[in-house]
Amino acid sequence: MIILGIDPAIRTTGYGVVEFGDSSRFRVIDCGVIANRPGLPHTECLRRLAGGIRELTAAFQPDAASIEEPFVGRNAGTAIILGMARGAILAVLAEREIPVYAYSPRRAKKAAVGSGSASKEQVALMMAAELQIEPEQIPLDSTDALALALCHGQLAINPALAELLTKPL
């Protein structure tokens, strides 16, 4: 089973592609960011973001996607922009008929590291240990996406945990 984890943002969307076998063993296939430079109009950022998700889904053919649950902070404008980015991503995944599951950052980090309050650096350290690479080789913006993919994969491959799966969006 291949899971595409996505941490949406208008400027730097993190992604992680994780393959799960029959057991809880997994391997990270790819991780990185879809970056938009500051100053680009939001419409161009959304077009590029959708294009990046299309490329990832074509390249890796994920069985499911895991995305961060939306949160509403104090700044309504930021929440609206994040919602636009999420919408662009969800539209592409819907076009490709890829089921999407949402998890809170806290739940994803707990699945990946054992602590819901883990930092991006701690998630990178854990992933680096699993992959036997240097933590600096993992873009920090992709760490939450990897944690999201791990969270969903651990639940999806274990029949005993199926009841903990969220409903697809």
Catalytic residues: 7, 68, 141
Q: Residue 147 is inside which H or E element, if any?
A: helix 140-157
Dihedral, 147, 148, 150, 153 alpha carbons, nearest 10: 180
- Cα–Cα distance measured from residue 102 to residue 26, given in angstroms and rounded to the nearest whole number: 20
Helix axes 140-157, 120-131, angle to 10 degrees: 70
Bridge partners of residue 34, in order along the sequence: 13
Q: How far apart are CA 56 and CA 149, in angstroms?
A: 14
Rg (CA), the chain: 15
Length of the chain: 169
Q: Residue 161: how many CB atoms within 10 A of its CB? A: 11
The C-alpha atoms of residue 135 and residue 82 are separated, in whole angstroms, by 27
